Amino acid sequence: MSRRRSVHLAIGLALVGLVVGAVLMSYLWLPFAPDDTSGGRLTAPGGDHLLGTDKLGRDLFTQLLIGGRIALGTALGAVAVGGVLGVGAGLLAGFATRWRDDVAAVTLDILIAFPTLLLAMLIVAGAGASLGTAILAIGLAMAAIVARLTRVLVKQVLTRDYITAARIAGISWPRIVLGHVLPNIGPVVLVNLALQAGLAVLAEASLSYLGLGTPPPNASWGRMLFEAQATVLTAPVAALAPGLALVVLVVGVNLSADGLRDLTDPTRRRSR
Amino acid sequence: MSHYLVRRTAILLGSLFLAAVALFALLRLLPGDPANALLPVGATPDQIDAARRELGTDASLPSQFLSWLAGIARLDLGKSLISTLPVGPEITARLPVTVPLTLTAFVLAVLVAVPVGVLAAARADRWYGPVINAVAQLGIAVPAFWLGLLLIAGFALNLHVLPAGGFPPDGWADPGLALQSLILPCLTVALVMAASMIRYVRAATLDVLGADYLRTARALGAGAREAMWRHGLRNAAVPVIAVLAMELATTFLGAVVVESVFALPGLGSLLVRGISQHDYPVIQGVMLVSTATVLVVGFLGDVAQRLVDPRLRLRSAS
């Protein structure tokens, strides 16, 4: 069975690699300038324009590549915000004892009860729609989930004999955290962050579709889909390409996370 | 159980209070004066003061917060800055769209996901086990709004069998018309939800299939089918119930986005309009109702899980 799982990892990494490769390429070479409207409105795919043009005459493939930058930026940004804040808060909560532990547990339960999308919409409502706001909002919502996971993992690790042994050997807490706690919780937290990255990409796309994420003229895939909706029959490629790109990236991220989990967790490798 | 109920109720009340605080604080403390929405360009200081008095934003923050809480207690959510209509009735007027959409989509998703998920686990060795997995894996990566867009293109614009969007202006006066305009949105939300539910149901069933008690039941002479029905499904139901409550909340949020795709006059489109028009009372009202719904559903799901599972009940009693 584990062979099939490593196939998942390979497929996942290949799909993510495809998107990352295309985005890296976009920094070196773009088929057209992003604001070049010389192609004429809604031309069919083929010729100079691989995927045709949008309703303003901009090259769709160029827009798609730029949307890829935004999608990857969202994934990385939200994971950075959520990972740093979440792991930090989770570590503190994991070391808390007595009433502080109860307060930490209840606070995290409360924070986690807020749905990501509503929290993001609330922050956007206050701070205005922009890519940075969307990333920050998604990252903050993610931080609560990561913090709760980290807290539970830290509590488990702290009961282990090797921690007691390290304490008896006179090793300081900071060095125990760096040397024993973080390496032991790392794989599980990383896999969770990878899954969250996929959700972050979908959340940003939803916000942008609703007009609450990346403002025009920047081409977020969610925004491109909103703009393509009115002309879905005359220009179907414009309505298909960004959606397919989203699915490729998110399936890739999810498969990679699944594969990584099975690599790092021997108990799952056997049972599935 | 009682200890657990007290703790869980405290969490519910705490999160409801926190939601009220967050909704109040974020919209008041961030830059931008809500009074601007009422004012013409180049308003005089007198006009600005009058607008602030009308909105109550001239009072101190704590007293504004208390009157906002008191308003919630009286079910008074204030008035829209744009239409000057009270927000409460405007929200109730939109429930006949959002509530049927959410509940039907949820029931549909559960009816699909439970049998398919169990099948995917119990028949993992047949060809359709992996196929179900692959489809579910794909399904959780498809954004709901994109699926809605594709369904509109296929069923409404190409085949002309269903409306592309909108809702009859007189609501449910003609139930046939109203139902027709909800079919595609329901299908959109249900398909996306079913994909993620299948994965949970499959995982829960797989855990049960490997359990010792199932092997014991088989060793004592129960057939595979009987062991699964009498022991397996009841155990698999425990984690699934808690997840279902979470999924019901997610279905509601999915409906919020999908309403915009189909131009349905529901809570979601009210919220999106409120945000784009900076209509703070509307945003606060819809957010409060939505968040409270999600929080209460989560609470009920957790409590239901305790009631179903005797092991959890005993553990919390000790």
**pLDDT at residue A75, rounded to an integer:** 93
Q: Which of B301, B112, B101, B100 is nearest to B195 (CA)?
A: B112
Cross-strand partners of B79: B86
For each of the domains in chain A, give its residue range(s) and CATH number, in order of start: 3-29+58-263 (1.10.3720.10)
SS3 state at B82: coil
A-chain residue closest to B124, CA distance: A272
**pLDDT at residue A14, rounded to an integer:** 93
Asked if the model's pLDDT at residue B261 lies above 70, the reply is yes
Instruction: Using alpha carbons only, give the angle B288, B293, B298 rounded to the nearest 5 degrees.
Output: 130
End-to-end CA distance of chain A: 7
- CA-to-CA dists, residue A79 to A119, A184, A193, A246, B312, angstroms: 16, 20, 6, 17, 34
What are B314's two structure tokens? 């005993």
**pLDDT at residue B314, rounded to an integer:** 61
**pLDDT at residue B109, rounded to an integer:** 92
| pLDDT single digits (tens) B47-75 | 777 777 776 666 777 888 888 888 888 87
Beta strands in B110-164 (DSSP E): none
SS3 state at A37: coil
A-chain residue closest to B23, CA distance: A122
Instruction: Return the amino acid letter for A264.
Output: T
Mean pLDDT by 10 residues, chain A (272 residues): 70 92 86 73 71 75 89 94 93 84 77 77 79 89 89 87 88 87 88 91 90 81 87 82 93 90 65 42
Q: What is the mean pLDDT of chain B?
A: 81
- Which residues between 117 and 156 in chain A have a beta carbon less than 8 angstroms from any beta carbon of chain B? 117-118, 121-128
**pLDDT at residue B318, rounded to an integer:** 38
**pLDDT at residue B190, rounded to an integer:** 92
Asked whether the beta carbons of residue B298 and residue A113 sit closer than 8 angstroms, the reply is: yes
Q: What distance in Å separates the CA atoms of residue A204 and residue A142, rounded to the nearest whole number?
A: 13
Total-model pTM: 0.85
| B18 touches A at CB < 8 Å | yes
Contact A257, A194 (CB under 8 A): yes
The beta-carbon neighbor of B145 closest among A209, A251, A255 is A209
Percent of chain B with pLDDT over 90: 6
| Sign, Cα dihedral of A102, A108, A113, A114 | positive
Asked whether the beta carbons of residue A254 and residue B141 sit closer than 8 angstroms, the reply is: yes
- Phi/psi at A137 (nearest 5 deg)? -65, -45
A-chain residue closest to B296, CA distance: A113
Q: What distance in Å separates the CA atoms of residue A107 and residue B14, rounded to the nearest whole number?
A: 9
The beta-carbon neighbor of B276 closest among A211, A228, A255 is A211
Q: Which of A51, A52, A30 is nearest to A41 (CA)?
A: A52
Asked if the model's pLDDT at residue B37 lies above 80, the reply is no
- Give the pLDDT band (50/70/90) at residue B317: very low
The residues near A170 (Cβ < 8 Å, ≥ 6 apart) are none
- CA-to-CA dists, residue B209 to A208, B202, B241, angstroms: 42, 10, 18
Residue burial B246-273, b: 16+ Cβ < 10 Å; e: rest: bbbbbbbbbbbbbbbbbebbbbbbbbbb
**pLDDT at residue A4, rounded to an integer:** 60
Asked whether the beta carbons of residue B283 and residue A125 sit closer than 8 angstroms, the reply is: yes
Alpha-carbon distance A80 to nearest alpha carbon in chain B (angstroms): 21
In this prediction, residues B32-39 reach a mean pLDDT of 63
**pLDDT at residue A271, rounded to an integer:** 43
**pLDDT at residue A198, rounded to an integer:** 92
Assembly ipTM: 0.85
| pLDDT single digits (tens) B106-140 | 999 999 998 898 888 877 778 887 888 888 888 88
Asked if the model's pLDDT at residue B178 lies above 50, the reply is yes
Residues of chain A neighbouring B149 (CB-CB closer than 8 A)? 225, 228-229, 232, 239, 243
- Which residues between 162 and 221 in chain B have a beta carbon less than 8 angstroms from any beta carbon of chain A? 206, 210
The helices-and-strands tally (H runs, E runs) of chain A is 11, 0
The beta-carbon neighbor of B11 closest among A106, A125, A272 is A106
Q: What distance in Å separates the CA atoms of residue B168 and residue B182, rounded to the nearest whole number?
A: 10
| pLDDT single digits (tens) B70-110 | 888 887 777 887 777 888 888 888 888 888 888 999 999 99
Alpha-carbon distance B146 to nearest alpha carbon in chain A (angstroms): 6
Alpha-carbon distance A238 to nearest alpha carbon in chain B (angstroms): 12
Tell whether omega for the bond before A217 is within 30 degrees of 0, i.e. cis. Answer: yes
In this prediction, residues B30-57 reach a mean pLDDT of 69
